[in-house]
């Protein structure tokens, strides 16, 4: 069992590390994709800016010396249409702002927006309009200027041209896209969502596998416990029967023979009850009701059960207090099965209610439902086990007071039968003076 536990923990640890590693790799991959996309957008804008500048110059025939003259400024609306069409053709559908400006103070600044002037002046997407040179030959002197007739000279060369404008009066065109970062994020949004979906599925499957491993381990433990407890429960009466038969074989005393015959009958009945209980559970699990309901008096049924348990109660020097308060105690139930439910609850109260158990069986009416309450003053059920006490074959194995007292189907049987009657059974976790089980009948 220790090796199985270590193996289970090792599997959980390795699986957790693998999942964590996959999440780190996935996050790094998404971040790298985002960085690459942002770099692609940056490079596209860097390549596009000079082309926009050339088209603007061709369309407006901008000459630096003319631009500063009042009344000869370019048409901003026409330039805006041109810039927008070029940007959209390149795949940039978000708003793009542009400006024509000179770096000298109190000089030219034209833009299609009143905002973003600092951003436009410091934009990395800038081209020197004054550096665009048009080449004309005799053969094409009468034709319209095309991009092939232009080139952009380095700023250093333009500074050395005789009679040219000072560098502080050069005209520049710059572009600014406020949503540039959002554009990169949107580009990988689908990849990000798909990755998150796949990661969510992996986490769900991981949790499901861990739960399955834990359940498998729990079922294996319960199976081992059940076999051990079942062996003990069957071995004790079988040993008593074998001993009694051996004595009977060599005894001629009528009184002794009667005593041992009664012992054999009682132990055989005990074995039969255990087998019948398991068969009844199997029948209910298979979806076959098997209940024969009839109208019966709940108080009389409780008294019959208490009479059956009286010898065990006397043996342990216990007390039982019947507080049967229902005005109308008639219910529709299967006498044998429902009686066995009450029997099991009182039997548990006797077994686990302390050295000299003090038990109360109460019937009452509360909130429109009839209740059967079985209460003891024993040590109670530890909180760690309260959630699982109605599970099949479950027993609190680490506690000595639970050892050798059944094999974990009593409360499961009670819950199964009570549920089949359309009722409800629960442990009152707020009761601190022992154990209190409540059956609520509609």
For 339-372, give the DSSP string.
Answer: HHHHHHHHHHHHHHS-SS-EEEEEEEEETTEEEE
Averaged pLDDT for residues 384-395: 76
Torsion, CA 281, CA 284, CA 290, CA 296, rounded to 10: 70
CA distance 121 to 101: 8
User: Which pLDDT score, from 0 to 100, does residue 124 have?
Assistant: 94
- Quick one: pLDDT at residue 86? 92
pLDDT at 43 over 90: yes
Q: Are 381 and 389 in contact (CB under 8 A)?
A: yes
Q: Across the strands, what pairs with 372?
A: 363, 439
Residues 128-151: tens digit of each pLDDT: 988 888 887 766 777 777 888 888
Give the model's pLDDT for residue 233. Answer: 66
Phi and psi dihedrals of 71, rounded to 5? Answer: 90, -5
Which of 8-17, 84-93, 100-109, 363-372 comes out lowest in average pLDDT?
8-17
Over residues 97-109, the mean pLDDT reads 84
pLDDT of residue 242 exceeding 90, the answer is no
Range with lowest mean pLDDT among 104-113, 228-237, 250-259, 280-289: 280-289
Give the H or E element holding residue 175.
strand 171-176
In the chain, residues under CATH classification 3.30.565.10 are 293-441
Distance CA 398, CA 240 (A): 28
Whether the per-residue pLDDT at 256 is higher than 80: the answer is: no
pLDDT-wise least confident of 50-64, 292-306, 330-344: 50-64
Q: For 181-194, how does the pLDDT look when each residue is reduced to its tens digit (9 = 90+)?
A: 888 888 788 878 88
- Name 351's Cβ contacts closer than 8 Å, sequence gap at least 6: 405, 406
Residue 314 clears pLDDT 60, i.e. is over it: yes
Q: Residue 353 is encoded by which pair of tokens?
A: 């209610």
Name the residue with tokens 């710059």: 174
What is the band of 308 on the pLDDT scale with cuts at 50, 70, 90?
A: confident
Instruction: Enter the DSSP assignment of 165.
Output: P
Which class is domain 293-441? Answer: alpha beta
Band (298; pLDDT cuts 50, 70, 90): very high
pLDDT of residue 383: 83
Cα(87)–Cα(125) distance, rounded to whole angstroms?
13
pLDDT digits (tens, 9 = 90+) for 20-34: 888 888 888 888 888
CB 170 within 8 A of CB 64: yes
- CA geometry: angle at 143 spanning 142 and 145, to 5°? 120
d(CA 234, CA 223): 16
- What's the predicted TM-score (pTM) here? 0.48
**CATH 1.10.287.130 residue spans of the chain:** 211-285
In whole angstroms, give the CA distance from residue 20 to residue 175. Answer: 43
Q: Does an H or E element contain 376, and which?
A: strand 369-376
Q: What percent of the chain has pLDDT over 70?
A: 83
Distances (CA, A) of 375 to 348, 357, 434, 437: 10, 10, 7, 6
pLDDT value, residue 30: 84
Give the containing element (helix H, strand E) for 407.
none
Q: Rounded to whole angstroms, how far apart are CA atoms 40 and 21?
A: 28
Closest alpha carbon to 217 in 21, 8, 407: 8
d(CA 152, CA 53): 10
Average pLDDT over residues 55-82: 68
Q: Look at residue 121 and tell me whether its pLDDT is greater than 50.
A: yes
> Per residue in 163-216, pLDDT tens?
667 777 888 999 999 988 888 888 788 878 888 888 888 888 888 887 887 777
From residue 319, alpha-carbon distances to 17, 177, 316, 360 in Å are 57, 87, 9, 8
CB 187, CB 22: distance < 8 Å = no
Q: What is the pLDDT of residue 403?
A: 47
433 Cβ contact partners less than 8 Å away, ≥ 6 residues apart: 377, 380
* More confident site: 86 or 70: 86
pLDDT at position 337 is 84
pLDDT band at 47; cut points 50, 70, 90: very high
Class for domain 211-285, per CATH?
Answer: mainly alpha
Tell me 405's DSSP state.
S
Q: Over range 328-338, report the average pLDDT.
A: 89
d(CA 221, CA 226): 8
Give Cα 296 to chain centroid, integer Å: 47
Q: How far apart are CA 73 and CA 75, in angstroms?
A: 7
Query: Which pLDDT does position 323 carry in this prediction?
Result: 92
Q: What DSSP element (H or E) covers 438?
A: strand 436-441
Rg (CA), the chain: 45
Positive or negative, the CA dihedral 66, 67, 70, 74 is positive
Top pLDDT among 109 and 280 is at 109
Q: Per-residue pLDDT for 380 more than 80?
A: yes
């Amino acid at each position: 069992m220790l090796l199985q536990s270590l193996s289970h923990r090792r599997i959980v640890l390795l699986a957790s590390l693998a999942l964590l590693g996959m999440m780190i790799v996935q996050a790094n991959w998404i971040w790298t994709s985002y960085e690459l996309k942002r770099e692609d957008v940056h490079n596209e804008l860097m390549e596009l800016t000079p082309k926009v500048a050339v088209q603007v110059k061709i369309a407006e025939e901008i000459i630096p010396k003319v631009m500063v003259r009042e009344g000869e400024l370019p048409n901003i609306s026409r330039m805006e249409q041109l810039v927008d069409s070029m940007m959209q053709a390149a795949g940039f559908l978000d708003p793009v702002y542009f400006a024509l400006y000179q770096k000298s103070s109190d000089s030219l600044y034209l833009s299609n927006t009143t905002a973003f002037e600092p951003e436009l002046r410091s934009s990395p997407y800038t081209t020197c309009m004054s550096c665009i040179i048009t080449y004309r030959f005799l053969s094409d002197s009468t034709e319209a200027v095309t991009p092939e007739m232009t080139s952009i000279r380095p700023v250093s060369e333009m500074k050395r041209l005789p009679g040219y404008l000072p560098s502080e009066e050069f005209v520049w065109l710059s572009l600014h896209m406020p949503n540039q970062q959002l554009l990169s994020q949107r580009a990988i949004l689908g990849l990000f969502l798909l990755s998150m979906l796949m990661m969510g599925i992996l986490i769900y499957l991981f949790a499901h596998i861990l739960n399955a491993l834990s359940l498998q381990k729990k079922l294996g433990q319960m199976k081992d416990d059940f076999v051990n407890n079942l062996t003990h429960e069957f071995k004790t009466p079988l040993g008593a029967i074998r001993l009694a038969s051996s004595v009977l074989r060599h005894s001629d005393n009528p009184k002794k023979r009667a005593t041992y015959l009664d012992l054999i009958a009682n132990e055989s009945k005990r074995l039969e009850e255990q087998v019948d209980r398991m068969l009844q559970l199997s029948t209910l699990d298979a979806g076959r009701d098997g209940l024969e309901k009839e109208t019966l008096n709940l108080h009389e049924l409780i008294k019959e059960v208490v009479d059956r348990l009286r010898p065990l109660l006397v043996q342990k020097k216990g007390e039982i207090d019947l507080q049967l308060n229902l005005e109308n105690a008639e219910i529709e139930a299967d006498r044998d099965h429902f009686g066995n439910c009450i029997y099991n609850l009182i039997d548990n109260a006797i077994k686990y209610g302390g050295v000299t158990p003090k038990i109360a069986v109460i019937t009452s009416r509360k909130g429109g439902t009839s209740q059967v309450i079985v209460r003891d003053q024993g040590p109670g059920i530890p909180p760690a086990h309260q959630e699982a006490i109605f599970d099949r074959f479950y027993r609190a194995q680490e506690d000595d007071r639970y050892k050798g007292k059944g094999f974990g189907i009593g409360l499961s049987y009670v819950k199964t039968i009570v549920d089949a009657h359309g009722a409800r059974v629960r442990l009152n976790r707020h009761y601190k003076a022992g154990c209190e089980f409540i059956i609520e009948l509609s």
